[in-house]
Each structure stands twice: as C-alpha cells, then as structure tokens.
Amino acid sequence: MQRAFTVASIGVHTVVIAAALLAQVVAESALPTPHQPIMFDSSRFMPVDVQLPAPRAPATPRKNETVSASAATVISPEGVVAEPEGQHNTASMPRGLIAAVQGAWPPVIEGTWADSVVQPPSPPEPIVPVHLHSGMKAPVKIADAAPVYPGIARTARVQGVVILEAVLDAQGGVESVRVLRSIPLLDQAAVDAVRQWRFTPALLNGRPVPVVMTVTVNFTLR
C-alpha cells in the first residue's frame, strides 16, 4: 500500500509541473518583473542651498577729526630742528658717554665725566707686625697670669723654662703664641698663661704698632 501511495504522489507532482510549464508557454502577456534591491546611484545628489558670506568692504581712509574750538593752539618753538632718526647729538658729550650711547661696552671713560665719577676707596694695607728692636718703645706688661703647674709634670718632677714667641696687636693684646723651646709636659700650660697677659702698646715713631716679641715662662718646683 505504501508503494502505491508513493507512485501516486510522483504522478500527481509530474502532472502539476507539466501544467505549470505549459501555462507559461501558451501565456500571451509578459511575466511580471521581479523586484530589485535598492541600490545607491552615485550620479544623483540632493541639492543643498549654501549661503556664501558677503565680501568684506574695502577699508576707507579715516577723515580728519575735527578739533574742538576750546582746544589750545599748538605752536612749534622757533629754532628747534628735528633730530634725524637713529642719530644722537653727541657734540657736547664726553667720549665715555658717547661710547655708552653708541652701544660700545665697556665705554672708555675720559674727560670731565670721568672726573665726576666717585672711585671707591682702596682697602687699607694690612699692618705687618715688626720685631721688637731698640729704635722703638718696648711694651710693658700690665696684666699677668701665673701658669698652672700640670699635675703630671709635678708628679714627674719636671721643671724648666719654656720660651715662647708672642705676637702683640697695636693695643697690646696677645694675638698668637708659638713655642720656640719646648718642654712637652709644660708647653700648653705656658701658652695658656701667656694668652692672658696684657701689655702697653709698642710705639714706633710715636705710633702704636703690632710687634713680635719673645717671652719666657719659668716652671720651678718648691
């Protein structure tokens, strides 16, 4: 039965297809045109109305402004000549000022302008201490300080004379001390004592001057 149904279905489809083909052959009117997809036509543009800006009017020269009737009258002074542009009147200027005006730097200072410039004072020359000699008035000690005997030197029974070189300023104060003859355990005590001494000023031609002198400190055990 199933085979008979299949054969009958094939026969029916064959008849329908043959009828459709026959209808197209015998038809007198043209077949309808199938629909086409929408495509962009680049040869057609939508018109757009663009307004261009108006050209600028040419600038017109300004008219002479009217002067108020109450304004003062401008009168040029007599005998005044306009100076040429880019030049300076350098007839009455000193050379140094002319060079500065014309762009030269540093200018050469000459003439009366240089005389009016105040020069800075030169620094005073340093006074070098002089060695004490017979042609000057020697300083006199006015303030004394006894040295402190070091305990280690006292225990070791060390004694003697320490010779020092002292530099005195113009007022008689001790600026510096240097050991000339050393006793190692006593040197520092001698230096500390001499730094506390004060003297009268040493005079050279009646003027106080700094001097270099030799002093001694004697350490003696009792």
The answer to whether 201 and 130 are in contact (CB under 8 A) is: no
Q: What angle do CA 37, 42, 48 make, to 5 degrees?
A: 115
Instruction: Give the per-residue pLDDT at 95.
Output: 55
pLDDT of residue 84: 62
Q: Could you tell me which of 185, 204, 194 has the C-alpha nearest to residue 167?
A: 194
Task: Give the β-pairing of 160-168 and 141-143.
Answer: unpaired
Q: Helix, strand, coil: what percent of the chain each, to 5?
A: 25, 20, 60
pLDDT of residue 175: 94
114-172 pLDDT, tens per residue? 455 567 777 776 778 888 888 899 999 999 999 999 999 999 999 999 999 999 999 99
Per-residue pLDDT tens over the stretch 27-81: 655 556 655 555 555 545 555 566 667 777 776 666 555 656 666 666 666 766 6
Q: Are 95 and 110 in contact (CB under 8 A)?
A: yes
pLDDT tens by residue, 171-199: 999 999 999 999 999 999 999 999 999 99
Instruction: Provide the pLDDT confidence category of residue 22 given band limits of 50, 70 and 90.
Output: confident
Higher local confidence (pLDDT), 211 or 69: 211
Selected from 3.30.2420.10, 3.40.50.720, 3.30.1300.10, 3.40.50.2300, the CATH number assigned to the domain covering 132-219 reads 3.30.2420.10
DSSP classification of residue 137: B
Q: What six digits make up the tokens of 202?
A: 């040493």
**Residue 210 pLDDT more than 90?**
yes
pLDDT of residue 64: 58
Residue with tokens 């039965």: 1
Check pLDDT > 80 for residue 92: no
Furthest-apart CA pair in the chain: how many Å?
Answer: 168
